[in-house]
Amino acid sequence: MTIFLKDILYTIYGDKMIIYVDLVFLLNIFLDFILLMSVSVTLVRNASIKRLFLGSLIGGVSTLILFISVSSILLIIIKIILGLLMVITCFGFKSIKYTFNNLFYLYTISFSVGGGLYLLKNKYFYNYFILIIGFIIVCFIYVKQIKKFKIHYSEYYNVTIYYNDKEIKLVGYLDTGNKLYDNYKGRPIILIDKEIEYNLEDVIYVSYISLNNESILKCLKPKKIVINNHSFYNYLIGLSNKKFRLDGVDCILHSEMKGVL
């Protein structure tokens, strides 16, 4: 947002102004925090306040761009590098696609917020032209993906698992194809690919059939699972040995939950 902060300052004060570096730095951190939080909510990234703040601090470094003269190409490179550091700090690195989606939505939201201010400040035709063309391109890409986005992320949920006096926070995906049950008591099983500490005595072994092959799945019995203020008690969590390929997902919810969530 630094490039737009500069335009805001010039719009308000003109060419003759006094810039308070500390206030500009704090304002930049605040705006970056809002942007990162918007990405976290939009993509259901479940980022903690601490990680959002650290990402905002990295974005605050871009305040230096206000006081140095750099070429347009170098400015773009700096912004991309800082953006990458911000999203990786906030949301981690799970895959190139995962990181690209985070970066894309960060700059999409940033462009939407700052673009209007930038347009108000500049009065030359080519600035209007460049901004409008850029806006059309971003909107085109966004509209092309919006239907997929609504369908895909509408099934994402923030999940909290209470196990051994610990709270395990995950991002879950409601998969209607997950119909795994405990063959002993008929308890539904959700799958996670996140390593957690557990006692071997607490492990429940469940057999299941996958691609005509019978396998054994390690399961644990949590105290409860909380999703959207709904508590689930009679569930097991299965420890998957494979990483899920869904964007940002580390928990596959059971189809039985669909009627509640």
Q: What is the pLDDT of residue 136?
A: 60
Domain stops at, among 100, 124, 153: 153
Domain stops at, among 153, 186, 214: 153
**Residues 133 and 166 occupy one common structural domain:** no
Domain count, the chain: 2
Number of H helices, E strands in the chain: 6, 9
Mean pLDDT of 66-75: 75
**Residues 139 and 90 occupy one common structural domain:** yes
For the entire predicted model, the pTM comes to 0.56
- Domain region containing 194: 156-259
Neighbours of 129 (CB within 10 A): 10
**Residues 124 and 161 occupy one common structural domain:** no
Q: Give dist(CA 221, CA 130) in Å, integer.
A: 57
- CATH code: domain of residue 197: 2.40.70
Q: What is the pLDDT of residue 12?
A: 43
Q: What is the pLDDT of residue 124?
A: 47
Lowest-confidence pick of 28-32, 74-78, 84-88, 243-247: 243-247
Q: Provide the 8-state DSSP code for 223.
A: S
Mean pLDDT of 147-163: 73
Q: Give dist(CA 185, CA 182) in Å, integer.
A: 6
